[in-house]
Amino acid sequence: MSERTLTFAQAILEATDQCLAADPSVILIGEGVPDPKGIFGTTSGLRDKYGPSRVSDMPVSENGLTGILVGAALRGLRPILTHQRVDFSILSFDQLFNNASKWHAMFGGRASVPLTVRMIIGQGWGQGAQHAQNLHAVFSHVPGLKVVMPATPADAKGLLISAVRDPNPVVFIEHRWLHGVSGPVPEGGAAVPLGQARVARQGKDVTLVASSWMTLQAQRVAGWLETMGVQAEVVDLRTLSPLDAETVLGSVRKTGRVLVMDLGWRHCGYAAEVLARIAETLHGQLRAAPARLTLPDEPAPSSPALARAYYPSARRMLGEALAAAQHPHARDESSWPEPVRAELARLEALPADVPDLSFKGPF
Amino acid sequence: MSALGPSAQARPTAALLRRLLIDVERIRRVEERIAELYAEQEMRCPVHLCIGQEAASAGVSAALEVHDTAVSGHRAHGHYLAKGGDLNAMIAEIYGKATGCASGRGGSMHLIDLKCGFLGSTPIVGGTVPVGVGAAYAMRLRGERSISVVYLGDAAVEEGVFHESLNFAALKQLPVLFVCENNLYSVYTRLDDRQPARPLHRLAAAHGIPALVEDGNDAVAVYERAAELVDKVRGGAGPAFLELPTYRWREHCGPNYDQELGYRPDAEYADWKKLCPVERLRERCLREGVVDAAELKALQERLEAEIDEAFRRAKQAAYPEPGPSPVYAGNDPDE
Ligand SMILES: Cc1ncc(C[n+]2csc(CCOP(=O)(O)OP(=O)(O)O)c2C)c(N)n1
Ligand SMILES: [Mg+2]
């Protein structure tokens, strides 16, 4: 099937368009879905194409609408609900956790809730404590929810198609800084199955486990590691729940070393689960202590000065990866290759609170 | 319309008009300055400006006492300033500086100034509605004579927590005044696309809470209505609700105009701009001799100088030192 280059946002738009075209029971609803900005371009034009009864805005009523869509899903629709920030979905945890996730199990499998909830996460531009949270570990903790976090445009499209077709509630998490990233995307309805991780780069010395925007960071770090004689394998989880433990364990079995790079908080975070799986299964085969890179256990600060310290820098990512790989110069930056040091210095001279310099705020 | 009966207000005094004029002029000028300087990219946080809506903050605050409290949402600059919030600390907060009212942790969407009773503003829609009711609950249980003001937008009434909060406030007859600035939009979505055609304030009436509507672009009228309600609330009559129709001039979030996006009809926009709350009050004050042209100019220059100074200080102030965040009380670094 032929491929073109699309942005991550365009890939989501295309997947949604194809789902709406393929199945008349699919509907799309969310705050701002038909507005001039179209959820960062991911819903633009769909209202005109499919009409206001299938593509619509909603009141600022996250919990109510989630429950309403649970009911609609039980009665034959396949709704896609969007939240412009994951933080707004918190108001809907009652319906999502108590009803959507459990309906199938608590009624003995007699009914199911095919609901897709898109949630946008992000960081930067001073958004602060209530607009920059990472809650994938929370969703993953709840049995009955599937949780997806794509890193590439192709996976964004393919996983969204699978999410919509899936008979269960699926939380589909998009990092705002990925929306503008481009990559090849197959044209047809190429679904990417839920529950399958992807080896984004092969290597034998250390495994970097990541998802979403962190996968791009892991790949960049792996490039630097290569110049330092370390071959890193990057496992892009893609689906966090259910976790494709086999792919993770397969990689770590080979490398014996692992750094889990996660967007979330540390305490009871997603990285803790990945490390627990590894420890349970591979404790005797590890060549180094398994490690994780996370956010500190603090709410996101607004000030750019505080945010720069809050989010792991590229320098820190590289240092942690080297340490996980037991590289002798992990803690000795002066021994890192000159081009790597120059690149790190270049990155540090840029603002840390924007995805690129074209970004002018406010969001 | 009024469940409380007509207001027994006397003519507003010159001192009151003057106070209102200073407040609307000040809020407008602060917001305009933020808009003007935002492109420098030194204010690195989302800002929701209240240009066009200044009368609500000024009018309500003039009816309050210092020990009364207020909470608000994302569009809070005016509420904070009119309640007496420190201008320097707000601008520093928007610049992300250590001298900010939340030490740089919050940004524009998280304002606080406990000295004047501004308990906090947060950007989750409806998030502070119950918090303001809770403040009133404490006032009641502690036997205080303060009242609690909850500022909210027209979208907040769509959240379940709004109704839970009003139910409780009415049940316990708490001293809380809900002030709903109905600017007809939530981001780009019109009220008609979110709520059925029924007067918004009737939601409060349905909860058993006396509810009034007042011209939200007339600071004096807002003051008079608010004063009437504040009196009753303070006197133990239970909660009250004030809906203030008004209009936001600039984009939902950010410094620019966005009329070119086409989500608001040009005629509607033009009609509302004619009702400029600052212009209207200026004219009235000149007409009634509260100020003359020279005094008005001097007043405006004083405000500009104050604002210059706030921005100068904020720009010069140091960024906070990265360090552990005050996550738990009791072991904060600066406690
Ligand atoms: C729970 C929640 N849902 C959605 C949002 C996104 N959002 C931020 S401001 C806003 C509009 C709120 O409109 P309104 O209450 O009328 O206030 P206005 O912006 O008009 O002052 C929305 C929907 C949010 N911050 N919180
Ligand atoms: Mg509004």
Per-residue pLDDT tens digits for A156-167: 999 999 999 999
Task: Assess whether pLDDT exceeds 90 at residue B289.
Answer: yes
pLDDT at position B11 is 80
pLDDT by residue (tens digit) across B45-100? 999 999 999 999 999 999 999 999 999 999 999 999 999 999 999 999 999 999 99
| Mean pLDDT for the stretch of residues B174-197 | 98
Counting DSSP H helices and E strands in chain B, the numbers are 11, 8
List the single residue in A with minimal CA-CA distance to B46.
Answer: A362
User: Residue B6 — pLDDT band, cuts 50, 70, 90?
Assistant: very low
Inspect the interface and report whether the beta carbons of B110 and A302 lie closer than 8 Å: yes
Task: Assess whether pLDDT exceeds 50 at residue A263.
Answer: yes
pLDDT at position A356 is 81
Task: Assess whether pLDDT exceeds 70 at residue B146.
Answer: yes
Contacts of A129 in chain B (CB under 8 A): 105-106, 110
Burial of A229 (0-12, 13-18, 19+ CB in 10 A): exposed
B52 within ligand 1 shell (Cβ under 6 A): no
ipTM comes to 0.96
Cα(A9) to centroid(ligand 2), Å: 27
Task: Assess whether pLDDT exceeds 90 at residue A25.
Answer: yes
pLDDT at position A2 is 73
Task: Assess whether pLDDT exceeds 90 at residue A342.
Answer: yes
Range A3-186 has CATH code 3.40.630.10:
no
Q: What angle do CA A125, A320, B45 make, to 5 degrees?
A: 5
Overall size of chain B counted in residues: 335
Q: Which residue has the tokens 């019109």?
A: B190
Strand ranges, E, within chain A = 3-7, 26-30, 55-56, 78-83, 116-121, 146-148, 170-175, 182-186, 198-201, 206-210, 232-236, 239-241, 258-265, 291-295
List the single residue in B with minimal CA-CA distance to A297.
Answer: B327
The token duo for B230 is: 């504040």
pLDDT at position B8 is 46
Task: Assess whether pLDDT exceeds 70 at residue B132.
Answer: yes
Task: Assess whether pLDDT exceeds 90 at residue B296.
Answer: yes
pLDDT at position A28 is 98
Residue B106 sits at the chain A interface (C-beta within 8 Å): yes
- Give me the architecture of the A198-348 domain, per CATH: 3-Layer(aba) Sandwich (3.40)
The DSSP secondary-structure symbol of A64 reads H
Taking alpha carbons only, the member of A231, A225, A206, A210 closest to residue A286 is: A206
Terminal CA-CA length for chain B: 50
Contacts of B322 in chain A (CB under 8 A): 305-306, 308-310
| Mean pLDDT for the stretch of residues B174-194 | 98
Answer with the residue of higher pLDDT: B1 or A145.
Answer: A145
| Structural domain spans, chain A | 3-186, 198-348
Q: Is position A62 annotated as part of the catalytic site? A: yes
- The chain-wide mean pLDDT, for chain A, equals 97
pLDDT by residue (tens digit) across A173-199? 999 999 999 999 999 988 999 999 999
pLDDT at position B268 is 98
Taking alpha carbons only, the member of A162, A293, A115, A276 closest to residue A217 is: A293
pLDDT by residue (tens digit) across B199-233? 999 999 999 999 999 999 999 999 999 999 999 99
Amino acid at A332: D
B160 within ligand 1 shell (Cβ under 6 A): no
Task: Assess whether pLDDT exceeds 90 at residue B194.
Answer: yes
pLDDT at position A361 is 67
Instruction: Respond yes or no on whether the N-terminal peptide bond of residue A362 is cis (omega within 30° of 0).
Output: yes
Q: State what percent of residues in chain B have pLDDT above 90.
A: 94
B154 within ligand 1 shell (Cβ under 6 A): yes
Q: State what percent of residues in chain A have pLDDT above 90.
A: 96
Task: Assess whether pLDDT exceeds 80 at residue A362.
Answer: no
Contacts of A24 (CB under 8 A, 6+ apart): none
